[in-house]
Amino acid sequence: MAQTDFNADMLRLARSARELTQADLAAASGVTQALISKIENKLTISPGSDVVQALASALRFPVPFFYQTEKTHGFPHFHHRKRAKLGAKPLARIHAAINIGRQHVAKLYGSYERQVLRPIPMFDLDERALTPAAAALKMREYWMLPRGPIDNLTEVVEAAGGIVVQSDFGTSHMDGLSFRVEGLPPLFFLNNRVPGDRYRFTLAHELGHMLFHHLPEDDALMERQADEFAAAFLMPAQEIRPYLGRASLSQLGRAKPYWKVSIKSLIRRSHDLKMMTDHQYKMLNIAYNKEGYASGEPHPLAVEKPGTLSAMVKHHIEALGYSSEEMADLLLMDEAEFNSAYVGRPKLAVVSSR
Amino acid sequence: MNTDQNRCMEALAPVLLEAHECWHRAMETYQSYPPLALAQHDDRAAASSLHAHMWMELQAAFAETAGVALLEVRGLHLMNVGDKVVCRFKKVDQGGNSVTHPSQQQEDFDRQLSIPGLPQAATRLTFGYQPDAAFSAIERVLVSCQMGKTILWCAQVNNVEAAAVWEDITPRRLEGTGRVIAYKERKTGSRDGSN
């Protein structure tokens, strides 16, 4: 393989993926921290092959990984649902996971063709004079979804060309994110640590971003619009109303398995649809927290399984005849890691630090 | 009529474990309904369905048991155990109080009045369940004895290593103050139940 310049961004990415500090990497690789710092800051542009080999071994990435001409995409370009207490280190790890995952998808997508009848469009709410809730109903019509709950949201998104990737974010403080990059369909990265109901709401929320938010706007507004879209897409007002009458935890607990949304979402929806007073909303939330549902609701839902990524891997192996070694070469990853990440149960465990 | 808790619970002992399990099996059956059916039930429909499953479970468990008679007396589903106690089956709150509006028949039952078809001397008990807040599981199985609207006593029944174990959880009045001390407070020594 003809090697070009060493890509310092890839070193930083690999280090974040393994959750190593520069000092950790120095200890693991035998390369001085000073040199690692200079490489990452592009003061040393062409490290020697022995140095690169040592770093690659310590980081468990093949040497060609560090000579890719790829650029990393930063968080400001994506839409993501995260909690305020997400620290810098796990954020860097997720950043690495997403970038590596995006590279994998791009490489696999190049030889994988599929027809999408009704792709995920982009439109401007203001231009069309639509609220997010109205847009949600339009999208249900566009994708010809039956009335009532959406049985499998992941299938809907993937049938519309989106690629849903489940990944271990290493934290439960971020639920998911989405973005569009040139040459690829919309990508949705979902944290596989979140429960099934939250997974669905996050996916619907991210779908809202992909539909409406192509240019940076006020963050709070974008989040509000994505939430409103998600709520209306999963729980259309007219159809959910009969299930929210005399809202109580027991009533909403029984509605949860049918609508496949959390009790929390049902409480919120009930309030947003003005089916309960502010006081009732407050009391129900207190009861919800008192029952400990914030850390785990009853009637847990299974997390939906995406199929496109595994279909792409399967296509390469079965139709194109790739061996696992060739697949690992293609994706610039360790073969054992490829097998554990993609062959057993396709998911992007590539960022596993251990 | 003897309403002594120990005597009543002793009379119930032969059926206690199985009846406790009947509530849990009834809830399992209820939770196996299609999601649409569950979603369309209100609290009353849910309690009514669970009661119907409980009655089926009781019949399957005790139809052939000597000394146990399952009765249907003017709409009330009852279990007579050895002519000493007669139980009805209800959704109750944490103190063993029925949470639904009682019919005249139920009020008579709770007042320990004579009801045609029931042994006169048998103590009337409520063999109840308390569901969790989301109605996804049985939180507790409680046996209570009422006199009118007053709960004389309440016992919580647990399955401990395949044996029925009960403990008295009747709220008590703090001597000299009249303040009612809930079971949780009695047990933990603090009002919010923390140790």
Q: What is the pLDDT of residues A280-294, one digit of tens each?
A: 999 999 999 999 999
A19 touches chain B (CB under 8 A): no
- Residue A280 at interface with chain B, using a CB cutoff of 8 Å: no
Residue A177 β-bridge partners: A80, A189
State pLDDT tens for residues A130-172: 999 999 999 999 999 999 999 999 999 999 999 999 988 888 8
- Closest residue of chain B to A260, computed from CA coordinates: B35
- Quote the CA–CA distance of B64 and B59 in Å, as a whole number: 9
User: Which amino acid is located at A329 in the chain?
Assistant: D
The mean of the pLDDT values for chain A is 89
What does DSSP assign to residue A66?
G
With CA atoms as reference, report the closest residue to A110 among A330, A346, A332.
A330
pLDDT score of B166: 95
Interchain CB distance below 8 Å, B35 and A258? yes
CA neighbor of B43 nearest in space, from A255, A47, A216: A255
**A contacts of B39 (beta carbons < 8 Å):** 243, 254-255, 257-259
Tell how far CA A181 is from the center of its chain.
14
- B36, B43, B133 member nearest A291 (Cβ): B133
Min Cα–Cα distance to chain B from A257, Å: 6
Task: Work out the average pLDDT over B68-89.
Answer: 92
Token digits of residue A49: 């092959």
Cβ contacts (< 8 Å) between A246 and chain B: which residues? 42
Mean pLDDT throughout A89-93? 83
For residue A23, the surrounding DSSP H or E stretch is helix A22-29
Contact B35 A257 (CB under 8 A): yes
Among A245, A297, A298, the residue with its CB nearest the CB of B137 is: A298
Helix (H) or strand (E) holding A25: helix A22-29
User: Residue B179, exposed/middle/buried by CB under 10 A (0-12, 13-18, 19+)?
Assistant: exposed
Q: Which residues on chain B are in Cβ contact (under 8 Å) with A263?
A: 134
Residue B174 scores a pLDDT above 90:
no
- Mean pLDDT of the residues in chain B: 87
Record: contact A254-B133, CB cut-off 8 A: no
Chain B nearest CA to A243, separation (Å):
7
Best A250, A256, A270 residue to mutate vs chain B (most B CBs within 10 Å): A250
Contacts of B136 in chain A (CB under 8 A): 253, 298-299
Size of interface A-B (CB pairs under 8 A): 52
- B39 → closest Cβ in A248, A254, A297: A254
ipTM score of the complex? 0.80
Determine the average pLDDT of the residues in A75-89: 63
B194 touches chain A (CB under 8 A): no
Cβ density class A148-180: b for 16+ within 10 Å, e for less: ebbeebbebbbbbbbbbbbbbbbbebbbbbbbb
Interface with A, mutate which of B91, B132, B139, B192 (most A CBs under 10 A): B132
Confidence of residue A353 (pLDDT cuts 50, 70, 90): very low
Q: Rg of chain B's alpha carbons, rounded to an integer?
A: 17
Q: Do the chains contact at B134 and A298, CB–CB below 8 Å?
A: yes
Chain B residues within an 8 Å CB radius of A257: 35, 38-39
Q: Is B39 within 8 Å of A252 when comparing Cβ atoms?
A: no
Cα gap A38→A17, rounded to integer Å: 19
On whether the CB atoms of residues A70 and A10 are closer than 8 A, the answer is: yes
pTM (2 d.p.): 0.83
Smallest CA-to-CA distance from A182 within A288, A73, A96 is with: A73
pLDDT in tens, B104-125: 777 888 888 777 778 888 899 9
Residues of A numbered 218-247 whose beta carbons fall under 8 angstroms of chain B's beta carbons: which are they?
242-243, 245-246
Residues of A in contact with B40 (CB under 8 A): 242-243
- Measured between beta carbons, the chain A residues lying within 8 angstroms of B32 are none
More confident position, B1 or A46 = A46
- Is B39–A263 a contact, with Cβ atoms under 8 angstroms apart? no
Chain A segment 292-321 residues within 8 A of B by beta carbon are 293, 297-299
Bridging pattern class, strands B123-131 and B85-91: parallel
Label residues A244-278 b or e (16+ Cβ within 10 Å = b).
beebbbbbbbbbbbbbbbbbbbbbbbbbbbebbee
- B133 vs B108: which has the higher pLDDT: B133
CA dist., res. B109 & res. B118, Å (int): 10
Which of 99-158 (A) contact B at CB < 8 A?
Answer: none
Q: Are strands B150-160 and B138-147 parallel, antiparallel or unpaired?
A: antiparallel
Helix (H, G, I), strand (E, B) or coil at A204: helix
* Nearest Cα residue in chain A from B42: A251
Look up residue B1 and give its two tokens: 């009529």
Q: How far apart are CA A292 and CA B84, in angstroms?
A: 41
pLDDT category at A2 given cuts 50, 70, 90 is very low
Residue B55 pLDDT > 50: yes
Q: Which two tokens stand for residue B8?
A: 């009543």
Q: Which residue of A has its CA nearest to B34?
A: A258
Indicate if the pLDDT at residue B52 is higher than 60.
yes
DSSP string computed for A148-169? S--S-HHHHHHHTT-EEEEE--
CA-based nearest distance A233→chain B, Å = 19
**Which residues make Cβ contacts (< 8 Å) with residue A346, sequence separation at least 6?**
A309, A310, A313
What does the alpha-carbon distance between residue A260 and residue A266 come to, in Å, rounded to a whole number?
A: 10
Does B36 score more than 60 pLDDT?
yes
Flag the least confident range among A196-200, A201-205, A343-347: A343-347
> Would you call A253 an interface residue with chain B, using a CB distance cutoff of 8 Å?
yes
Q: Tell whether B32 lies on the interface with A, counting CB pairs under 8 A.
A: no
Check residue A79 and give its pLDDT: 59
CA–CA min distance B76, chain A (Å): 25
